[in-house]
Amino acid sequence: MNRRAFLKKLTGYTLGVTAGGLVLPKEVKSELIKPFAELFSKNCLDDEIRSRIVELKRDNPNLQVGELHCHSYYSDGAYSVKDLMLRSASLGLDFLVITEHLTPRDYKLEHCLDSITAQRNIINRWNHGEMRPPAVYPAFEISTKEGHLIAVFPEDYFKPERLRDIKQYFSRFDYYSIPVELTADLIRKMGAVSIVSHPDIQRSYPFGISSGFVKEHLVGLVDGIEDMSAGHGYQKDYSAETGLATIGSSDDHLNIILGTVVTAFDGAKHDNIIEAIRSSDTRAVRLTNSLDILFTPTRLFFNI
Ligand SMILES: [Zn+2]
Ligand SMILES: [Zn+2]
């Protein structure tokens, strides 16, 4: 099938699933969209992303490029942690941060910890020849009183004794929405960094923290802010207004848009993404816009 015919078919399909999205439960939607997601990434996307990364590294061989916001089936994603890690490796991403939801009553800390443990086990048993695994970091996306905030922890937190520290301090998030200032303060005290996800995006429940609130209350407390999001389809300049690290990411739930909008940093200056974010020395980069056709239907379909 040529690209044009494929895109035509895709449009029909996405309109169909969007209509279905109004009535179907989430698990059914995930199963429905899986074959289509795989077809789409194989046909259109992956080669484009790979060659863009090669191009970027031609300009700066030390550049490190990765995904900072996505979900597996340990929260509300459709794919496994292993699927996301394998796809990231095959795209040539240097790091992958999987950010399961931590939401009172709906998505418990236990599932975030299970996801983190699964990631550690996959790295320990990695056996895919020439293909290097992406660097992974313990992380989750916390539903605070004012909206979503991502916490990314140093690799040291993969150790069981450090995971116990996370358990000790974050178990209360299973039951309560805690003000974002207190949450950010706790994240910083634990040596992790925090990122404001999808600012200004509104839902009927606290979702994107307003950029006004960030400017007034969170500068100096949080570390990064999503300037560019594939999943939410916007590009802004929040970081310039706040001095926070600029972040580009996908908020992928379907293993489709992963790696289409990424964050990059200079590996000669910083050892890892956490240090780069802390130094506010990052770049948000859109690697492809082939997916514009898919943005709105997918967002409506999954209500993400
Ligand atoms: Zn979110
Ligand atoms: Zn998310």
pLDDT tens-digit series, residues 276-295: 999 999 999 999 987 666 65
Residue 244: per-residue pLDDT = 98
pLDDT band at 266 (very low <50, low <70, confident <90, very high): very high
Residue 93: per-residue pLDDT = 98
User: Mean pLDDT, to the nearest integer, of 140-145?
Assistant: 98
pLDDT band at 84 (very low <50, low <70, confident <90, very high): very high
Mean per-residue pLDDT over the chain, rounded? 90
User: Mean pLDDT, to the nearest integer, of 75-81?
Assistant: 95
pLDDT band at 200 (very low <50, low <70, confident <90, very high): very high
3-state secondary structure 105-147: CCECHHHHHHHHHHHHHHHHCCCCCCCCCCEECCEEEEECCCC
Distance 141 CA to ligand 1 centre (A): 7
More confident residue, 269 or 41: 269
Could you read off the pLDDT of 89-131 as tens digits, one per residue?
999 999 999 999 999 999 999 999 999 999 999 999 999 999 9
Distance 249 CA to ligand 1 centre (A): 11
Where exactly are the structural domains of the chain?
53-288
Distance 130 CA to ligand 2 centre (A): 31
Distance 231 CA to ligand 2 centre (A): 9
Distance 128 CA to ligand 1 centre (A): 32
Residue ranges near ligand 1 (ion) with Cβ within 5 Å? 148, 197
Could you read off the pLDDT of 9-58 as tens digits, one per residue?
555 555 555 555 555 666 676 677 676 667 666 667 899 999 999 999 99
Residues 178-195: b if buried by 16+ CB within 10 A, e if exposed: bebeebbebbbebebbbb
CATH topology classification for 53-288: TIM Barrel (3.20.20)
Distance 69 CA to ligand 2 centre (A): 6
Distance 207 CA to ligand 1 centre (A): 6
On the question of pLDDT at 302 being above 80, the answer is: no
On the question of pLDDT at 61 being above 90, the answer is: yes
Residue 44: per-residue pLDDT = 72
The ligand with the least distance to the CA atom of 197 is 1
State what percent of residues in the chain have pLDDT above 70. 81
Rounded-to-integer distance, Cα 124 and Cα 169, Å: 26
Distance 140 CA to ligand 2 centre (A): 9
Residue 160: per-residue pLDDT = 95
Could you read off the pLDDT of 163-186 as tens digits, one per residue?
999 999 999 999 999 999 999 999
Rounded-to-integer distance, Cα 215 and Cα 217, Å: 6
On the question of pLDDT at 132 being above 90, the answer is: yes
Residue 178: per-residue pLDDT = 97
Phi then psi dihedrals of residue 143, to 5 deg: -85, 100
- 249 neighbors 260 (Cβ within 8 angstroms): no
pTM given for the model: 0.89
Distance 28 CA to ligand 2 centre (A): 20
